[in-house]
Structure 1
Amino acid sequence: MQITWDDFQKVDLRIGTIIEATEFPEAHNPSYKMRIDFGDEIGIKKSSAQITKLYNLEDLVGKQVLAVTNFPPKQIGPFMSECLVTGFYNTNKDIALAMPEFDVPNGSKLI
């Protein structure tokens, strides 16, 4: 299925830095809850992700991630997710986060 350039421009993909990561024991699948700083324009948003196979909590803080920031909030059990962190399945079906190779300012938009 092809999309138009206008369709792509509707998706607000931004870089943010994980400032807090905690266990999410209430999730159906093993997950973490995160607070992500997207800079002054967007601020801090919450998200959850099923990334427990490849990432330890203590290693996540300070990592920059690519996220969709203009989805409406979504209730995930007792947690309200405010953005969608992006990633890729590896060969074992574990999720590897989409991250920039170099540090970029929080809130930078994917172009």
Structure 2
Amino acid sequence: MEAAQFFSLDMRVGQIVRVEDFPEARRPAWKLFVEFGDGIGLLPTSAQVTNYSAEELQGRLVVAAINLGTKQVGNFLSQCLVLGAITDDGSVALLEVPKTARPGDPIA
């Protein structure tokens, strides 16, 4: 990946405001609704982060890529990609965001 490609990626802080079951997904996943603040708003995403409970996800600040386009996941439209590290056991450890960050803040 060239530097220009990397810097064209729009990564922002978002806050998960709603978590729903996603039984139609081929792999275990949640439907997440992530708020990015004024100018961006609420974006849905499907995330294979079932190692977190709905309660752990609700209200959590996350890092997400918001300009990758829309992806059809089963009967659901995913409009952002929540970022995390893939651990040895294959689960996703969501990136930590400082409490001082606000939804919509750009990631540098």
Report if TM-score (shorter chain) is over 0.5: yes
**Mapped pair 1:104 → 2:101:** yes
Deviation (angstroms), 1:99: 2.6
Cα separation, 1, equivalents of 2:23 and 2:65: 24
Aligned to 1:21: 19
**Offset at 1:101?**
3.3
The alpha carbon displacement at 1:33 in A equals: 0.2
TM value normalised by structure 2: 0.94
**Structure 2 unpaired stretches of 5+:** none
CA–CA separation in structure 2 for the residues paired with 1:107 and 1:99: 15
Summarize the alignment of residues 43-82 of structure 1 with structure 2, pairs less than 5 Å apart: 43-53=41-51, 55-82=52-79
Mapped to 2, the partners of 1:62 and 1:100 lie a distance apart of 12
Q: Give 1:3's aligned residue.
A: 2
Match of 2:84 among 87, 90, 97: 87
What is the count of residue pairs matched by the alignment? 108
| Structure 1: tracts of 5 or more residues without a match | none
TM-score by length of 1: 0.92
- RMSD, matched Cα: 1.1
Letter of the aligned partner of 1:3 in structure 2? E
Q: Deviations over 1:58-105 (max 9, x none)?
A: 121110010000111110000000101111111211111123133301
Which structure dedicates a bigger proportion of its chain to helix?
1
Secondary structure (helix, strand or coil) at the match of 2:85 reads strand
Secondary structure of the residue aligned to 2:43 is strand
Q: How many angstroms apart in 2 are the aligned matches of 1:3 and 1:39? A: 30
- TM-fit CA distance, 1:110: 0.7
> What is the alpha-carbon distance in structure 2 between the residues aligned to residue 90 and residue 52 of structure 1?
13
Structure 2 matches for 1:25-36, cutoff 5 A? 25-36=23-34
